Amino acid sequence: MAAGGPAATAPTQVGEVVFHVVAITLYNIPIMAVMGWVIWLIFRSDSFSELLEEKGPGRGAGKRSYARVTGFVGTVILTSFFASVGNVVLFQAMFDPGKIAAIVSGVGPLFLVGSALFAPYAFNQLRSIFTPAGVAGSGGAAPGGGAGKALNPLVRPPIRAPG
């Protein structure tokens, strides 16, 4: 065969295929490891519903929380979507890098809308931080039996100078 013919380009094509397979595999190994770890945690817990229950003292403790359920569902959906988009972008980077900007700008708003799945959980956490202890749903009674006298330990009243 003449130099530069089909036999001369074959190793380059095989090398590119190997590179592509290795790159996509290395990208997906951590994703699969995290998925396996989450599945292991789910089956390791006493019950799956325990992971979705309100924690701590106060109203709703031990009951399944809408905020935790939507947070869990949102985490699964956004993580899957993010991993999928990463695979698409990686694939496009190998074969048609010009399309990457269009893909990323096209899915950006979907990530923003998807993050709204976490809104109930975020509002629930903010409410628990700023609600005084002893108030219904605050997470506990105030010291000394007085309702509303003590604030949540994360929110301290200003320190006043003696006098």
- For residue 70, being part of any structural domain is answered with yes
Number of domains observed in the structure of the chain: 1
Domain assignment of residue 7, yes or no: no
Q: Which residues of the chain are modeled with pLDDT < 70?
A: 1-12, 45-49, 56-62, 133-159, 161, 163
Q: pLDDT by residue (tens digit) across 98-108?
A: 888 898 888 88
CA gap 120, 106 in Å, rounded: 26
Q: 97 in a domain, yes or no? A: yes
User: 24 in a domain, yes or no?
Assistant: yes
Helix extents (H) in the chain: 6-44, 48-51, 66-95, 100-114, 119-130
Tell whether 85 is covered by a domain.
Answer: yes
Domain annotation covers residue 43:
yes
Domain that holds residue 26: 19-126
Residue 115 is assigned to a structural domain of this protein: yes
